[in-house]
Amino acid sequence: MRHIPAIAGRELRAWFVSPVAWVVLVLFALLSGFFFLMQVRLFQEVLSYYQQIQQLEALRSVTLNNFLLFGYYQTIWLVLLFLTPALTMGLFTSEKINGTQELLLTSPITFWELVLGKYLAAVAMVTLLLLLLALQTATLFVFGNPEFWQTAAGLLGLWLVGLGYAAVGCFASSITKSPLIAFFLCFSILLLLFLLGQIASIGMAATAGAPAAHWLTDALRWLSSDRHFEALLRGLLDTRSITYFVFLIAFFLVLTRGVVESARWR
């Protein structure tokens, strides 16, 4: 495993030498900053409205965590849905385009070192994005009083989402030579994981009174990323949610390793 840091460092240098890393960082900073300001403004307008009509019960529910950060982090989740495929689409496709894949596969590194090295480079970029987000969130502690542990759980949820999405991106990049195809394949998988909860709800309504189909809807709901992310967003550090993201990461990294290994025998 001693080659993993070198592979990750090589990938990070390639990102920052090219415009990819800078475009992703600047775009994320602009989008997250814009949505943060919009959510703060909406929060202030809702508070002002409830104060005017003297809805004290509603005012208690409109808190920094339950309204402002909840909506803000959900929006950032959708931003990651688009940015992560853009970030990871060249992880393996660039090697095929540049003709360096054969050199990597015949070098004295294992398949796991290659996969984990590239994945850790993506993890570093996702972590950097979330650090920018954490700095924006920190301003709320200067001017307000959000609940610390619920805020930390929401950031953890976004980080785990980013790590899971990066693993999907690794897999999508490993099975094609085209970065564009890798982007759309990764985005399609992520969108499917996002929509599984809605599909399960529709299936549950359609199969009402059919207990035999409940196991399928339960499985779809467990595979849905939104259910586990929202649990963390509400401050619920459920081991089932953390286990889900660990499973998602491990599953797609194992698939990626299998695809990379199969390339040696083609």
36-72 pLDDT, tens per residue?
A: 999 888 888 877 776 777 666 666 767 777 778 888 9
pLDDT at 214: 64
pLDDT at 266: 58
pLDDT at 45: 82
pLDDT at 145: 83
3-state secondary structure of 175: coil
- Give the total number of structural domains in the chain: 1
CA angle centred on 163, ends 197 and 248, rounded to 5°:
50
Q: From residue 204, how far is each of 164, 209, 220, 255 by CA, in Å?
A: 27, 9, 10, 30
Phi/psi at 149 (5° precision)? -70, -35
- pTM for the full predicted model: 0.88
Q: What residue numbers bound the domain in which 22 lies? A: 4-264
pLDDT at 204: 52
Q: Which of 86, 128, 103 is nearest to 7 (CA)?
A: 103
pLDDT at 101: 67
User: In the structure encoding, which two tokens stand for residue 195, read together?
Assistant: 């929509």
Question: What are the residue ranges in the chain where pLDDT is below 50?
Answer: 205
pLDDT at 234: 81
3-state secondary structure of 151: helix
Letter for the amino acid at 36? F
pLDDT at 256: 92
Burial zone of 1 (CB within 10 Å; 0-12 exposed, 13-18 middle, 19+ buried): exposed
Q: From residue 175, how far is each of 43, 48, 186 by CA, in Å?
A: 44, 52, 11
CB 249 within 8 A of CB 168: no
Rounded-to-integer distance, Cα 89 and Cα 74, Å: 23
Beta strands in 112-167 (DSSP E): none
Rounded-to-integer distance, Cα 93 and Cα 172, Å: 9
